[in-house]
Amino acid sequence: MGKTGYFTHRDCWKHDMGGGHPECPERLDAIEDRLLLTGVGDALERCDVPLATLEQITRAHSVAHLEHLEALSQRLIEDNPAGGPTQAMLDPDTVLMRYTVLAARRAAGAAVAATDAVMSGQLENAFCAVRPPGHHAEREQAMGFCFLNNVAIAARHALEVHGLERVAVVDFDVHHGNGTENILAGDPRVLMVGFFQHPFYPFSDVDHPAANMLNLPVPAYTKGMDVRELIDMMWLPRLEEFKPQMIFVSAGFDAHRDDEMGQLRLNENDFAWITERVHEVARRHSHGRIVSLLEGGYNLDALAQSVEAHIRVLADLR
């Protein structure tokens, strides 16, 4: 049995977009509490989380993007003692505050550190319980609760630093991972597969994707069994043909039927089934190497139960 790593850091709790915002620090509390209650956390290898470096971040983002975020953060820190604002609105849903860049760099650092640990053989796979999420963050733009694209940073790290030739990104959030597609589209070393509710935020153009993108837009109220059938027919043949040497997962759990963020009708058993299929591909082609990163999931009970189900498969605890 290979080890499953668990990457998180208290800096990820410090980013707070305000009372009532669904992407809140309590999401990580719910996950921690569930893993403690069920004993699943005892089976995981807790790992250190560094800050992502400029070199690591700029494999997926421009220097100007990071400098813009850091300048906004510094302005908030400097102006606050004089009665200045405590937050900067980047879009109607995405708020930067003084600790946002710290948390985002820590989340991206977890993705990189998990990649290194899995590639070294220290771990078979890993789950990163981090926030802010990342899959909406484009090369030049923060949006949709996301500032830095954790999964794209990790994928590029595996390619550029570890010399892999083929990596896959699996995205099962209720929303399209437009940022990941924006960064990785056209890179033949990457295959990205995803399903998501459509039409829905971020209202991306999903009709003419690049050759290395496999989008499965599904209508509201689609049930888990229908998603499973699509994955069997569409995702799995492409993944088998591609033979990824490592798999990265944008693990969004807001497609759960109890999550009011969207209108899909999956449950924790569906997320476990998806994880099993991905795990099987990884064991055939990738020496079991998977790095999974938390994206969406805003009903705290559904999120915690779904993450538990996801990790149980990764850690062979079922």
Q: Which of 200, 192, 97 is nearest to 149 (CA)?
A: 192
Pick the catalytic residue: 136, 157, 175, 310?
A: 136
Q: Is 61 a catalytic residue?
A: no
Q: How far is CA 9 from CA 78, 86, 103, 278, in A?
A: 25, 23, 9, 26
**Catalytic residue list:** 136
